[in-house]
Amino acid sequence: MATVVLLVPLVVAMAACGRFGFEVHPDAYQGTGDGQPPSSCLGTGAFTNLRVLPNVNSTASDTGGEISKDELALYFNTNVTATSIVVSTRSTRADVFSSPVAVVLPGGDAGDPSVTGDNLELYFSSGRSGASCIYRASRAASTVDFGAPVVLGPLCGSTSAGAAISADGLVLVYNITIDGFGEGDLYSSRRASRTDDFSVGTRLANLPANVGYAWLSADQLRL
């Protein structure tokens, strides 16, 4: 029997402007008060110039990319042998990303990476314990490896995945999957400081049913 291999490359596109509003924010977009782009932006946010990223793609499926808040590091999943996380870096936004290197996270599979604005905390999904849980790995400086991952106990369930951490590390949005396509409901958990633990999140309102994994902007106004 022949084996069919599906290769999924990472691509990039550019958009003039756009927003998926998840709550009303009175200060958003010059005080329009509806949490939506101004009329001058509506209809102009289509992505264009879609192209495959050089250097970063492997011969396997490369998915789940998240760019760091300074846009100089690209973390993503690769499935060469098992689901793992790799990172590609660049010196400036004008440069192309380097070939990816493995993010060492011993203990099992790892996917859906998200990093804080200072690149010192990495959040990811893993089924290494038997259940689908969210884990955190920390480091003292962005030039050294991450330490051993720790499981976020309150966020460990049968379908917890797709963590998105805010730039300040105080808000964590994650997915509770309800179908086979990684779609479900999004939940948000907040902590007072980086030394505190995250508690069980609250389901986000005003969102469509069966949404995928989240990405949270640095100002926490776009999801």
Please, what's the b/e burial string for 167-187 (b: 16 or more CB within 10 A of its CB; e: otherwise)?
bebbbbbbbbbeeeebbbbbb
Question: Could you give the number of structural domains in the chain?
Answer: 1
Which band of pLDDT confidence, cut at 50, 70 and 90, is reported for residue 26? Answer: very low
Asked whether residue 70 carries a pLDDT value surpassing 60, the answer given is: yes
* Residue 50 belongs to some domain of the structure: no
* Residue 48 belongs to some domain of the structure: no
What pLDDT score was predicted for residue 99?
A: 93
Number of helices (H), then strands (E), belonging to the chain: the values are 0, 14
Whether residue 162 contacts residue 151, with contact meaning beta carbons closer than 8 Å, is answered with no
Asked whether residue 35 carries a pLDDT value surpassing 60, the answer given is: no
Which residues on adjacent β-strands are paired with residue 89? 73
* Residue 100 belongs to some domain of the structure: yes
What pLDDT score was predicted for residue 182?
A: 61
How far does the chain reach from its first CA to its final CA, in angstroms?
43
* Residue 181 belongs to some domain of the structure: yes
Asked whether residue 43 carries a pLDDT value surpassing 60, the answer given is: no
Taking the alpha carbons of 97, 102, 105, 109 in that order, is the dihedral positive or negative? Answer: positive
* Residue 177 belongs to some domain of the structure: yes
Whether residue 117 contacts residue 169, with contact meaning beta carbons closer than 8 Å, is answered with yes
Which band of pLDDT confidence, cut at 50, 70 and 90, is reported for residue 42? Answer: very low
* Residue 134 belongs to some domain of the structure: yes
Cα separation of 154 and 128, whole Å? Answer: 16
* Residue 41 belongs to some domain of the structure: no
Cα separation of 71 and 93, whole Å? Answer: 7
Q: Look up tokens 């789940």; give the residue.
A: 64
What pLDDT score was predicted for residue 10?
A: 52
CATH number at residue 192: 2.120.10.30
Residues 6+ apart with CB under 8 A from 52: 9, 10, 11
Task: Work out the mean pLDDT of the chain and round it to a whole number.
Answer: 78
The domain in which residue 164 lies consists of 55-203
* Residue 3 belongs to some domain of the structure: no
Asked whether residue 148 carries a pLDDT value surpassing 80, the answer given is: yes
Share of the chain above pLDDT 90, in %: 34
Segment holding 123, helix H or strand E: strand 121-126
